[in-house]
Structure 1
C-alpha cells in the first residue's frame, strides 16, 4: 500500500527532528510523532528526559529547573527546528511554540505555517 504524501512528510519531519536533537544534545527522544493539521505542524517527542532530569523532577524546585533549562535550550535551537519545517514543507513558519511535561517526560512543538499544508497535501494524494 502506498504511503500518502501527508504521512510521508510527517515521517520525514520526525526523522529530521530526531537527527537534529541527536546532533545538538547527543541523544534523541524515545519516540517522535509528527502531525500536519491544517496550517500547523505538531511534533510530539516522548521520552525526552535524561536520567539526571528524571531525578531532578522528583521535587518542585527540580521540575522548575528542568523546565527553565529546556526552555533556554529550545530558544537557542528554535531557528534550526523552524528551518527543518520550512525546508521539508516549502512553507514559511509564522510562529512556533513549545512546552515540556516533566510529569510525562514528553515535549510538544507546534509550528504555524503560512498556508493550509494539510489541504494542499490532500489535493496531491
Structure 2
C-alpha cells in the first residue's frame, strides 16, 4: 500500500507547485490532484502570469502563450513524470497536458503502469 489517497494527491499537488515556482519563479495559485484507476490528473488554477493575461486578449498573443507553455512542458516533461514516479512508485507510460488561456488553467494527465487507485487507501 502506498498510503492514503488524499495524502498522496496532496503530496503530488505540492510537489508540482514547488517545482513550477523553482522553474518559472511563480507557480499556480492552486493545484488539485485526482487519482483515478491508472491515471494521475492534476488541475492547476491561476497559471497565467500578468503579462500572459494581457497577451491572451489578442489572437496572436493567445497562440504565443499556448505555444510557449507547450514548449516549456516538452522541455520539462521528464521532470513532471519523475515527480509522479517518485511519489507513486509507478512507471509513467505517457503524459498529456493542455492549457486553457480562457480560464487560466492547465491540466496534466499521467498514465501509470498499474491501477494506482487500488494501491492506496481511501
TM-score (norm 1): 0.94
Report what 1:53 is aligned to. 52
Alignment pair present for 1:112 and 2:117: no
Cα-to-partner distance string for 1:47-82 (whole Å, 9 max, x where unaligned): 000000000000111110000000000001111100
Write out per-residue CA displacement over residues 27-46 of structure 1, whole angstroms, 9 at most, x where no aligned residue.
01000000000000000000
In the alignment of these two chains, the number of paired residues is 120
What's the counterpart of residue 43 of structure 1?
42
TM-score using structure 2 length: 0.96
Q: In structure 2, what is the equivalent of residue 21 of structure 1?
A: 20
The secondary structure found in structure 2 opposite 1:10 is helix
Structure 2: gaps (5+ residues): none
For 2:45 and 2:108, how far apart are their aligned partners in 1? Answer: 12
1:119 offset after TM fit, Å? Answer: 1.1
Match in the other structure for 2:102: 103
Distance (Å, rounded) in 2 between the aligned partners of 1:29 and 1:121: 26
Q: Which runs of 4+ in 1 moved over 3 A?
A: none
